[in-house]
């Protein structure tokens, strides 16, 4: 599977384990441009919401949910894993590099 693109240099330098490690509190550095990368709070928390769906359903007393407690939780973990990987964008504090750098004229 391809790496994820750095929001600063646009190079695909962020591996899956690194993407899963990064959070609003834990920052990582792009190996290409050394930009500091993290995720925003709102998308990160939204991506983790499926973790709680199975738990809430079973605690609300749905009989089917109580019987399949572990399965609902496993589905929540898998859903949160994919949401976090593919829908939580990396952000950086520095401005993105322009794709075609302007040529500077001397003087
Ligand atoms: Zn980069």
Phi, psi (deg, nearest 5) at residue 29? -120, 135
Higher pLDDT, 51 or 4: 4
Give me ligand 1 centre to Cα 12, in Å.
Answer: 8
CA of residue 4 to ligand 1 center, whole Å: 10
Burial category of 82 from C-beta neighbours within 10 Å (exposed 0-12, middle 13-18, buried 19 and up): exposed
Report how far residue 18's alpha carbon sits from residue 82's, in angstroms, rounded to the nearest whole number: 14
pTM: 0.73
Please tell me the distance from the alpha carbon of residue 46 to that of residue 48, in angstroms, as a whole number: 5
pLDDT in tens, 14-53: 999 999 999 999 999 999 999 999 999 999 999 988 888 7
| pLDDT per residue as tens digits for the range 50-101 | 888 767 776 776 666 667 777 878 888 899 999 999 999 999 977 767 765 5
Q: Rounded to an integer, what distance in angstroms lies between the CA atom of residue 76 and that of residue 53?
A: 7
Spans of all domains in the chain:
4-92
For residue 64, what pLDDT is reported?
65
């Amino acid at each position: 599977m391809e790496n994820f693109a750095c929001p600063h240099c646009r190079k695909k330098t962020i591996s899956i384990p690194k993407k899963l490690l990064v959070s609003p509190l834990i920052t990582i550095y792009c190996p290409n441009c050394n930009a500091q990368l993290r995720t925003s709070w709102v998308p990160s928390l939204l991506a983790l919401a499926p973790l709680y769906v199975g738990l809430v359903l079973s605690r609300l007393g749905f009989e089917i949910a109580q019987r399949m407690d572990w399965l609902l939780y496993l589905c929540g973990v898998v859903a949160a894993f994919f949401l976090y990987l593919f829908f939580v964008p990396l952000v950086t504090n520095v401005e993105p590099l322009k794709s075609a750098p302007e040529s500077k004229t001397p003087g």
